[in-house]
Amino acid sequence: MPKKDLSVADIKKIVEEENVRFLRLMFTDILGTVKNVEVPVSQLDKVLSNKMMFDGSSIEGFVRIEESDMYLYPDLSTWMIFPWESEHGKVGRLICDIYNPDGTPFAGDPRGNLKRILDGMKEFGFTSFNLGPEPEFFLFKLDENGAPTMDLNDKGGYFDFAPTDLGENCRRDIVLELEGLGFEVEASHHEVAPGQHEIDFKYADAIEACDNIQTFKLVVKTIARKHGLHATFMPKPLYGINGSGMHCNMSLFNDKGNVFYDEDGPMQLSETAYQFLAGLLKHARAYTAVCNPIVNSYKRLVPGFEAPVYVAWSGRNRSPLIRVPESRGLSTRLELRSVDPAANPYMTMAVLLEAGLDGIRNKMTPPSAVDRNIYVMTEEERKEAQILDLPSTIHNAIKALREDDVMIDALGSHIYNNFAEAKKIEWAAFRQTVSEWEREQYLELY
């Protein structure tokens, strides 16, 4: 979505002309959940002068009760009017950064933290870090009470179309809504698994791309419900079929253009690209906790379902963690294939950018590309090629994160401590839960 250079006066004019009645102030918590503070349009002046407060103690991982007052600073370039009508009038949206009462950015705000890492990037002479995301989701039918069922909306497969793909009308409506909001949708298709869909939109700079992901999730869920469907970004909702990923295509730019491209370099990649790649590989086990942040994420990261499980890279092979797509020139990019759509995009981009910058800072060299199918290699062959496994559980991923100071610094101590604590609690609850699988396996046998 192109950034809009809007002033306070512009927004006031639009609000009046469009008869906007409510303002939805959006931000994202540490767990990646979109939060809203909705206020009537009578509060517009207060909102636009950064005077709107909310209770931060009610938000996961923000602050304690005794320091709860937080301020919402709207980013005027994120102004949009939601296309679906409310019975009480139109709703305008602004994405906000979170500030402390003393006017300093709040360290627990994932969007503000990403801005901090982007400022650090500029010290290297880079002007922008671009992200092209490929989010996947499943569509399940709703029951007569409007609750999600486990019934998929179709039996379609990769790139199938009607009559097999019953989600096509829903997906088409989602694309139309997104385009109406200014998204440049590049592709929309049925994915490998039944009921699974992917919509790719044009790359943008990191903050805007993360804003787009959060807006995208809201639009997908809203339009799906209108079709009697529930859209979920849960990484692996069903056993035995592919899970949902959110491949991240990343590129770095400076005043001269894409710094990953070098016409004369090996594979037409620059030395900077190889250093960035080396940093991504070095810190991969640690940032997995952020890119794959829930217990369920690790049901997707298993061999046999196209999701990567090994730390390696390749130009053409699709089994490694990082792939270098064929396009060159302005489109030269690195594609990280492990990320899933449960990830907080702002935190994900912060750790990935910092991992890459660490590679550049320390002039790292990546290991050789792995151009054969890693899934058919033996453990000895993988060891010889220095191919590590990704963590197999959120518990192991958090342990790896705890040992990586660069990744902890990328999150900042506030976000890291609260995130790690929340995941510890999540893992403990999961570990203590007795599953249906266990009852089926053991109840009669023992």
Sign of CA dihedral 110, 113, 115, 120: negative
Cα separation of 252 and 8, whole Å?
Answer: 32
Closest among 344, 326, 333, 232 to 289, alpha carbons compared: 344
Question: What's the DSSP call for residue 192?
Answer: S
Active-site residues: which are they?
Answer: 55, 134, 136, 191, 198, 247, 318, 335, 337
Cα separation of 197 and 217, whole Å?
Answer: 13
Buried b (16+ CB within 10 A) or exposed e, 334-361: bbbbbbbbbbbbbbbbbbbbbbbbbbbe
Q: What is the DSSP string of 322-343?
A: EE--S--GGG--EEE----TTS
Buried b (16+ CB within 10 A) or exposed e, 90-112: bbbbbbbbbbbeeeebbbbbbbb
| 3 state SS of 312 | coil
| Degrees to nearest 5, angle at CA 414 with 413 and 418 | 110
Asked whether the beta carbons of 33 and 345 are under 8 A apart, the reply is no
Cα separation of 297 and 299, whole Å?
Answer: 6
Closest among 244, 249, 133, 248 to 190, alpha carbons compared: 244
Tokens representing residue 79 in the block: 């102004």
Strand partners for 301: none
| DSSP-derived pairing of the beta strands 204-205 and 196-201 | unpaired
Cα separation of 409 and 290, whole Å?
Answer: 13
Sequence-ordered alpha helix ranges (H) in 337-443: 345-361, 379-384, 394-402, 405-432, 436-442
Beta strand ranges found along 183-256 (DSSP E): 185-190, 196-201, 204-205, 229-232, 246-254
Closest among 444, 345, 300, 399 to 133, alpha carbons compared: 345
| DSSP-derived pairing of the beta strands 185-190 and 196-201 | antiparallel
